[in-house]
Chain A
Amino acid sequence: MTALKTLMVLALSLALGVTGVAYGQAVKNPDTLVKVKFGDPESLDPAYAYDTSSSEQILWHVYETLVFFNGGSTGQFVPMLATEVPTVANGGISKDGKTYRFKLREGVKFHDGTPMTAEDVKYSLLRFMFMDRDGGPSWILLAPILGEEGTRDEKGVLRTDLFTKADQAIKTSGNTISITLNKPFAPFLSIMAEWSMVVNKKWAIAQGDWNGTAAGLARLNNPKKPEDTALFSKANGTGPFKLVQWDRQSRQTILERNDNYWRKPAALRRVIYRVVEDFGPRRLMLQQGDADIVDVNRTEQSQVENLPGVRVLPDLPQLVTQGIYMNLNVDTTGGNPDVGSGRLDGNGVPVDFFADINVRRGVAQAFDYQTAIRDCYRGYATLGNGPVPKGMFGYNPNGKWYATDPAKAAAAFREARGGQVWNNGFKFTVAFNSGNTTRQCLAQVMKANLEALNPKFKVDVRGVTWAQYLSLYRQKKLPMWIIGWAADFPDADNFASPFMHSSGTYPSAQSYKNPEADKLIEQGRTETDTAKRRAIYFKLQEIAFNDAHTLYFYPVKLTVMRSWVRGWYNNPAFFGEYMYTMSKQ
């Protein structure tokens, strides 16, 4: 056994020695940028893809949109495939705020050499809307243009009348395309900046894709498998990079420079996205220069910080809100261990425990936000005061939130249910998705803070897998849980709706309904006056504070790259890096 110990000591000391080695490396593969990630795309079809990994690879690299974000701003736009950003002043947006006109850029060619026309844009938008796979992104265009969330009726039958409507709403004339919305929709331009990817109509039809008519819709609509769409692994866009291959065996996507790009061709000749699940090899690849940019979890940050030739950007703004949700009406059908006895007997909670505002305010004032941010986020997050994250239009920097105050928290709990909560005590579970150490830490802080108030208060912390989580979410069984939300498009509505509208993603599982919030959210969508719209989101923030059904955090993003990467910049709306401006030297 001593031999074994000696061996282990030897091996470990060797391994530790490795981390301290300095390298004066020359730039490896100077014209190829390799990004190493932990996840692979689900589909490269712009109408099917609804995950960050897919969007990161195709969006603005292979396919382009009508308008684009101006530098790091999420609210200002520059033209991309259109020649100017439509405004009411330049006549691009009609006075009633419903019609948007985009004049298309001349001389833009697809990767196969065919020129881009308004017909291609119309085809792309309709294709995006009517692909409408379950769990897909189509609602993002369907909602503003048709006022519908989906294209099928309750029985799952495709509604062809919607196609007639859409066909009339999107009109081409020469090289101009105009889109008429169902109602004025304030965030429409930010949607166009991310979700108006233009595909090549003629080429797509030749590949066996949708033929552009109502008769062909049945084949396009709700495909069963991602590979059922012709653009699943093939692409022909206008972007600065062409798709060479998406190799699902070695799990990499290879993009190559488009030398006939309508702007100056990109500096990089090739961009390669590779999947490496394990952090060990990912880190070593970064160290050896075989990877230029790598995905790193916050908990692994310290392991890349001192690598020579590596640049760590620890606090980039992103459009993410993390929430701790309280369920106002927990389901106990078939038993529910997460609410214990189901009664307020010190060994459980009743189903409507969190329906009492005093309980929710007690939780909000007991929670130690500073400790949570310091320990769970290692300082890389700010305390939220509502769903809309810091830096986004609609965020109120002066909005009130609860201060940690155990005395006030105790007072609130004393008031709850006529003192019964305080006298009897309670027991419930806080759930987080297992493996996420940040959320686990938040749950533990919650437990520690609540249990410190009163020896009769008991909180369990439980990690659940994503599959279990889906089940518990649908059955509304979790009394309190923690998960995040990343924006579909950079607009306050995309945060207010899922966090506060009674039909939104989280309130529907929390049984949270505030008619005033619902009304304000619906008003916020159609209000085109910036000042009035801001006031609506400020008001919603107040409601979020008063109702305290959710606690909010705005975590910032960590990006790690070799310092030889040039021309990189961040926009919170990006799904990855924008490679067009980047190079290596």
Chain B
Amino acid sequence: MASFIARRMLLLPVVAFGVTLLIFALLQFLAPEMRAAAFITNPNQLTALDAIIKKYGLDQPVYVQYWNWLREVFSGNLGWSQTARLPVRAAIGAFFPATLELTIYAFVPIMLLGVWLGTAAAVHRDRFIDHLSRVFSISFRSLPSFVWGLLILMILYGRMNWFPPGRLSLEADLFVRDPSRFQLHTNLLTLDALLNGQLWIFFDALRHLMGPVLTLTMVSIALLVRITRSSMLEVLRQDYVRTARAKGLGEDVVIDKHARKNALIPVITLSSLTFVGLLGGVVITETIFNFPGIGRWGAFAAQQLDIPGVTGFAMFVAGLTVLGNLGADILYAYFDPRIRLQ
């Protein structure tokens, strides 16, 4: 097990390196002037175009630019993100906690509700609950997240004023910023609020999380319901389930102990991908709810051709994906003893 994990971890730098190489290779298709776009943002600066290109060596061959960047990486510096107005490392540090918090809160309802609905649908196949779960999951899935996001925002903020955009309300935000009254430990605001014993901050942060959590749940749950359902149906047809029933075991025990555990294998793959996907940032949801997460920054950096920003972001997400897959592999072994990690 330990050697398996170690080998997987060795993969990390390789993947990260590959990703950066890919990005710089793509750079070759951009003219030097285009790479200057992050630095020249208005027509009044147009006459400085040549100077900017020279200053940042944007007209040098890609391998020279890659080498320069690599040198920066080895000096412990991932470069400057012109879109975040922060060094790349600091930008990841600043934006990731918000996304992590959102992911944790969104993952719980997605998993619980998804697996429960999927199981229920399979067990009560072609009955009311099955139809209901199908209708809901398909209709949630069939509109893009920006439609759901905007609808939720318009109704639950615009009409009800329950779940405002952003991460905190004005008063809470000013309170959290005051180091004499509040200490930021993890930048997960709900956790920090509890650590500081400020329940009202906790609820304020939670209120702001609700909109994006609801949106993410709606758009992510469908796949989970469908996969759980079909996997469960397949398991329920297996001989050992029939045997268990024949032994006279109660239906609850058959479903919960014998069937579901085995049905969860494909669900684990999917959920680890979902988790990593959420961690990598959910651009549209973050943008609509003005949630200062990492996805919005990554997308903005790509749009503005902020090369160090994009590269750092891609490396980070690649690393997360490797770790997510590792987590999934370990979970497989737990759920299915037939799978041995080597």
Residues of A within 8 A of B (CB): 3-4, 7-8, 11, 14-15, 17-18, 21, 29, 32, 34, 40-43, 50-52, 134-136, 156, 222, 224-227, 244-245, 247-251, 254, 272, 276-278, 280-281, 284-285, 287-288, 290, 465-468, 470-471, 473-475, 483-486, 488, 498, 505, 508-509
Do B139 and A471 touch across chains, with their CB atoms under 8 A apart?
Answer: no
Q: Which of B37, B49, B164, B173 contacts A466 (CB 8 A)?
A: B37
Instruction: Closest A residue to B83 by CB, please name it.
Output: A40
Closest Cβ of chain B to A303, distance in Å, is 12
Chain B residues with CB below 8 A from A17, complex form: 159
* Nearest-neighbor residue (CB-CB) of B39 within chain A: A135
- How many angstroms between the C-alpha atoms of A278 and B35 in the bound complex? 25
Q: List 9 A-B contacts (CB under 8 A).
A: A7-B139, A8-B143, A34-B170, A42-B41, A50-B42, A51-B41, A134-B55, A466-B37, A473-B33
Q: Are B44 and A50 in contact (CB under 8 A)?
A: yes
Flag the segment in B115-123, B246-254, B286-294, B334-342 that touches A: B286-294
CB-contacts of B169-217 with A (<8 A): 170, 173-174, 177
Could you tell me the distance between the alpha carbons of A297 and B98 in the complex, rounded to whole angstroms?
29
CB–CB B48/A134 < 8 A: yes
Question: Would A470 and B33 count as touching, CB distance under 8 A?
Answer: yes
Question: Does chain A have a CB within 8 A of B138?
Answer: yes
B10 at the interface (CB under 8 A from A): no
- Count A/B pairs, Cβ under 8 Å: 155
Give chain A residues whose Cβ lies under 8 Å from the Cβ of B292.
Answer: 249-251
Known contacts: A224-B55, A248-B94, A281-B290. The answer to whether A288 contacts B158 by CB under 8 A is: yes
Decide yes or no whether B36 CB sits under 8 A from chain A.
Answer: yes
Q: Are A245 and B43 in contact (CB under 8 A)?
A: no
Residue of A nearest to B31 (CB): A471
Contacts of B45 in A (CB 8 A): 50, 135
Interface stretch (choices B1-9, B84-92, B318-326)? B84-92
Closest to B54 in A: A156
B33 adjacent to A254 (CB under 8 Å): no
* A467-B305, A471-B31, A473-B46 as given contacts; A4 in contact with B80, CB under 8 Å: no
Q: State whether A474 touches B50 (Cβ < 8 A).
A: yes
Q: Please give, as numbers and ranges, the residues of chain B lying within 8 Å of A272 by CB-CB distance.
A: 170
Query: Could you list 16 further interchain pairs (A-B, Cβ under 8 angstroms) beyond the known A4-B142, A284-B153?
Result: A15-B155, A42-B85, A136-B48, A156-B54, A222-B55, A244-B177, A248-B84, A254-B174, A281-B165, A284-B157, A465-B37, A467-B30, A467-B37, A471-B34, A505-B43, A505-B46
Contact in complex: A470, B49 (CB < 8 Å): yes
Q: Determine the interface band of chain B, counting residues with CB < 8 A from chain A.
A: 35 or more
Distance (whole angstroms) from the CB of B90 to the closest CB of chain A? 9
B51 interface neighbour in A43, A135, A226, A505, Cβ under 8 Å = A135
Please encode chain B, from 223 to 262, with 1 for each CB lying within 8 Å of some chain A CB and 0 for all others: 0000000000000000000000000000000000000000
**B47 within 8 A of partner (CB):** yes
Contact at A470–B40, with CB atoms within 8 Å?
A: yes
Identify which of B33, B44, B166 contacts A505 (C-beta below 8 A): B44
Query: B36–A470 contact, CB under 8 A?
Result: yes
Q: Is the CB of B80 within 8 A of A471?
A: no
CB under 8 Å from chain A, chain B span 17-45: 30-37, 39-45
Whether A473 lies near B49 (C-beta < 8 A) is: yes
Which B residues are closer than 8 A to A by beta carbons? 30-37, 39-52, 54-55, 80, 84-87, 94-95, 98, 135, 138-139, 142-143, 150-151, 153-155, 157-159, 161, 164-167, 170, 173-174, 177, 287-290, 292, 296, 300, 305
How far, in Å, is B51 (CB) from chain A's closest CB? 4
Which among A3, A32, A278 has the greatest number of chain B C-beta atoms within 10 A? A278
Instruction: Give B95's nearest chain A residue, CB to CB.
Output: A249
The 8 closest A-B pairs by CB, nearest first: A467-B37, A135-B48, A471-B33, A249-B94, A467-B34, A134-B51, A135-B45, A471-B31
Cβ-defined partner of A51 (8 Å) among B31, B42, B95: B42
A52, A222, A227, A484: which contacts B87 (Cβ < 8 A)? A227
Residues of B within 8 A of A244 (CB): 177
B131 to chain A, nearest CB (A): 9
A248 touches which one: B51, B85, B305 (CB < 8 A)? Answer: B85
Q: Across the two chains, which residue of chain B brings its CB closest to A466?
A: B37
Residues of A close to B173: CB separation below 8 A: 250
Question: Which residues on A sit within 8 Å (CB–CB) of B46?
Answer: 470, 473, 505, 509
Contact pick for A284, options B39, B143, B165, CB 8 Å: B165
Q: Give, as a whole number of angstroms, the nearest-CB distance from B180 to chain A.
A: 14
Whole-angstrom CA separation of A287 from B86 in the bound complex: 32
Cβ contacts under 8 Å, A509 to chain B: 46
Docked-complex contact B139 and A4, CB < 8 angstroms = yes
Tell me the complex Cα distance, A90–B173, Å: 51
